[in-house]
Amino acid sequence: MTLEDWEEKLDAVLAEADRALEARWGGRWPLHPARPEAGAAANPRYDGLFRVTAAFTAGFGSEKGPGYLLRVEVATLESVPAPDREALEDEAASLVRDGLAREFPGRELHVARDGGVYKIFGDLSL
């Protein structure tokens, strides 16, 4: 497996989580006026209410070591209450966990809190 293969599979998992959050929470807050409706762009991170991304970190000073920080952004001008933000992040983490198990069968990958953020960590080998 190449790095491109790994990240392509990860992007597919993130896109699926984005679409699932959109289906469940999409009408909860008004969409940012500069953002197109869900389904308007080829990639769900560029449209709709949510942007689910992951960025690699070497994990210096982290409890979990190297991995991908999972980020869930809500594209609205309204304030998202802390309990809703936590529920969104928990749901996204669960969706990503399930997607990783499907896309990377037999690989020991975890999605858990590392400090105040969710992180994907474990067997990141290519």
pLDDT in tens, the chain (126 residues): 899 999 999 999 999 999 999 999 999 999 999 999 999 999 889 999 999 999 999 999 899 999 999 999 999 999 999 999 999 999 999 999 999 999 999 999 999 999 999 999 999 998
Backbone Cα Rg of the chain: 15
Task: List b or e across 96-114, with b for residues whose CB sees 16 or more CB atoms inside 10 angstroms.
Answer: bbebbeebbeeeebebeeb
CB-based contact 14:45 (threshold 8 Å) = yes
Please report the pLDDT score of residue 117 as a whole number.
94
> Kind and range of the H or E element at 97?
helix 82-103
Question: In this structure, which amino acid lies at residue 50?
Answer: F
